[in-house]
Structure 1
Amino acid sequence: MEIGILSLSDLQTDPARGTLHDPARRTREIVSYAIAADQAGLDVFGLGEHHSPDFSVANPAVPLAAIAQATTRIRLTSAVSVLSTLDPVRLHQDFASLDHLSDGRAEIIAGRSAFLEAFTLFGIDPAHYDTVFAEKLDLLLAIRDHERVTWSGRHRPALDDLPVPPRPQQEKLPLWLGVGGTLSSVERAARLGLPMVLGLIGGDIRRARQLTEHYRALGQAVGYATDVLRLGVTSHFHVGKTSQSAREELYPYYREYLRPKTPGGRGWLVGPDEYRALSSPFGALMAGSPQEIVDKLLTERELLGIDRFMGQVDFGGMPAPMVHGSIELLATEVAPAIREELGPPTGPAA
């Protein structure tokens, strides 16, 4: 099983000044987390894409390119690329260039996004939310799989036997689908034979079992081998030296991250009881001691058959030393125990 980390680059309000944290400093800190993960031997680093003042990164390929030059082995992926609002030609070109800079370590996780700001910014009608995504995914797959592309659709000018340079260093860029738990998204990944990343942000992880079993059953039914139908999960994450210290130090940042920032806005208030339930053995929140995290990852492996785990390690204004400490424990105590139990991770998704 591959083990890694991700950042969504959220910006929180500095309580002393009442203003958002500095996006430049935030982006540099994220780069430092990826470098630390690489040096400590983790397998993958992911970076999100958002188009709101509440986040510092709009194009993950740019910080990932800086990270590529300062790392040697960790795989680098978007988490996710909002394909509905992007030009698939440009997206593939950006990550093919990242693949060159990283010596063949680039990947894409493509998703639809639950945030509407990008749709307004790029002039995409949310009424066509699913059809635009399906069409652009079709084009992205055509570009990934063919040297020259002939394609036509409703939402983008056609391509008539055109090359899309540059080609990546890898034979083709690994492409995963990021899904939030809807049945239609799971079935799309299965029918296309694409590896899937499932975001577990709340509730009981056992509820995801039906979706993951359906993904593999449908994928196999349409002819894909089991080793093609790889599954990744992401969760909010913090590991500390003890269970109590990990949960106590995380709670204010977790609460701040999820609370609605405006009346009626996105998010919810997490009280102590809900927090305890979320961090319990079957709760979606990964927070606890190294052994608790090991046990929880092995439980997810048994229940869901996961091939990759990515912990969201920095959110809610968590200070950089706290994040670095969590990365170190994940790499030096959690990952070795998982590898001893399960063996070395498999290669990247096709």
Structure 2
Amino acid sequence: MELGILSLSDLQTDPTTNALHDAGRRTREIVSYAIAADQAGLDVFGLGEHHSPDFTVANPAVPLAAIAQVTSRIRLTSAVSVLSTADPVRLHQDFASLDLLSDGRAEIIAGRSAFTEAFRLFGIGLDDYDEVFTEKLRLLLAIRDNPEQVTWHGRFRPALGGLPVPPLPQQPRLPLWLGVGGTPASVERAGYLGLPMTLGLIGGDIRRARAAAEHYRAVGTGAGHRAEQLKLAVSTHFYVGATSQGARDDLFPYYREYLRPKPPTGRGRHVSRADFDAVSSPYGALVAGSPQEVIDKILSEHELFGLDRFLGQIDFGGMPAPMVHRSIELLATEVAPAIRKELAPPTGPNTV
């Protein structure tokens, strides 16, 4: 199982000045997290896309390109690219360029945004929400499968008649995952197309999401795809500290700040300490605690879902950079080795 981290690049307000924290500094800190993850031997680094003032990254390919120049092995992915409002031609071009810069380490996780700002910004009607996404995914797949000669027509974009989409990526084709929130239609789409799926675990009891994983694989194999093609990842809020209680005490104010309603949209919710303790319980969505607790929880999720990849959202709510770096260090030095040892295939002859 691959182990990775991601950032959504949220910006928080300084309580003493009521001003947003510095976006440039925030972006540079995110680059430092990717460097740390690469040096520590983690497998994947992801970066989200948002189009509101509460986030610093609108096009993940740009900071990922900077990260590509200062890392050597970690895979670099969007988490997610908002395909509903993107031009699939430009999206593939951006990540093909990233693939060339990174020596073949680029991926795309394509998804649909839960935020409406991007739709207004790019002039996409919400009335056509699902149709637009379906059509753009079809075009992105056509480009991915044959970027040298793309023939395609649809309703929301001019047709392409045998045109190349340069540059070609270094990999034979760009890896493409679908990011889903667990709705049956999204799960079925990923399975039917045989695409790897990243399932976002945000709240509640994660055991309820097992049905989505099983449905994905059932649809995929029913559509004729090989079982090994149907890869599954989960992404969730993440923090590992030295001790169980210390980790929770340290994380709670930042988790609460991250989720609290903020103007002008009022989007979010108030989180009490009881809510926080519930979501960080053994079957809660939040993965937070001591190294051993985190090891146990990730292994539990692996058993529950049959995971190929785990992605932890490593920084949110204004967490200071040293706190994030310490969490990455513990993930890499204590959590990851234990998980890899536990999941490693047996070696040598069986003995009785």
TM-score (norm 1): 0.97
Q: Aligned to 2:73, what secondary structure does the other structure show?
A: coil
Residue of structure 2 in register with 1:341 after alignment: 342
Residue of structure 2 in register with 1:115 after alignment: 115
Q: Structure 2 CA distance, aligned partners of 1:140 and 1:35? A: 29
Q: Structure 2 CA distance, aligned partners of 1:129 and 1:25? A: 35
Q: Aligned to 1:227, what secondary structure does the other structure show?
A: helix
Residue of structure 2 in register with 1:71 after alignment: 71
State the Cα distance separating 1:265 from its structure 2 match.
1.7
Q: Aligned to 2:9, what secondary structure does the other structure show?
A: coil
Q: Which amino acid aligns with 1:194?
A: L
Residue of structure 2 in register with 1:45 after alignment: 45
Q: Structure 2 CA distance, aligned partners of 1:213 and 1:66? A: 38
State the Cα distance separating 1:242 from its structure 2 match.
0.4
Residue of structure 2 in register with 1:159 after alignment: 160
Residue of structure 2 in register with 1:211 after alignment: 212
Q: Structure 1 CA distance, aligned partners of 2:52 and 2:304? A: 36
State the Cα distance separating 1:263 from its structure 2 match.
7.7
Residue of structure 2 in register with 1:28 after alignment: 28
Q: Which amino acid aligns with 1:114?
A: A
The within-5 A match list for 1:271-282 is: 271-282=272-283
Q: Which amino acid aligns with 1:75?
A: R
The within-5 A match list for 1:156-305 is: 156-262=157-263, 265-305=266-306
User: What is the RMSD computed on CA atoms of the aligned residues?
Assistant: 0.9
Change over 3 Å in CA distance of 1:328–1:216 after alignment to 2: same
State the Cα distance separating 1:89 from its structure 2 match.
0.3
**What's the CA shift string for 1:133-162, capped at 9, x where partnerless?**
000000000000012000000111100000
Q: Structure 1 CA distance, aligned partners of 2:299 and 2:62? A: 34
Q: Structure 2 CA distance, aligned partners of 1:235 and 1:212? A: 15
What count of residue pairs does the alignment treat as equivalent?
A: 344
Q: Structure 2 CA distance, aligned partners of 1:183 and 1:306? A: 19
State the Cα distance separating 1:264 from its structure 2 match.
6.8
Q: Structure 1 CA distance, aligned partners of 2:324 and 2:277? A: 21
Residue of structure 2 in register with 1:347 after alignment: none
Residue of structure 1 in register with 2:59 after alignment: 59
Residue of structure 1 in register with 2:16 after alignment: 16
Q: Aligned to 1:284, what secondary structure does the other structure show?
A: coil
Q: Structure 1 CA distance, aligned partners of 2:17 and 2:38? A: 34
**What's the CA shift string for 1:281-333, capped at 9, x where partnerless?**
10000110011011001100111111101100100000000000000000111
State the Cα distance separating 1:197 from its structure 2 match.
0.3
Q: Deviation above 6 Å: which 4+ runs of structure 1?
A: none
Tell me: higher relative CO, structure 1 or 2? Use CA pairs within 8 A at least 6 residues apart.
1
State the Cα distance separating 1:273 from its structure 2 match.
1.0
State the Cα distance separating 1:262 from its structure 2 match.
3.0
Q: Percent identity?
A: 76
Q: Structure 2 CA distance, aligned partners of 1:263 and 1:31? A: 29
Q: Structure 1 CA distance, aligned partners of 2:127 and 2:324? A: 39
Change over 3 Å in CA distance of 1:89–1:263 after alignment to 2: closer
Q: Which runs of 5+ in 1 are unaligned?
A: 345-350
Residue of structure 2 in register with 1:97 after alignment: 97
**What's the CA shift string for 1:227-277, capped at 9, x where partnerless?**
100000000000000001110000000000001013872111111111111
Q: Which amino acid aligns with 2:91?
A: L
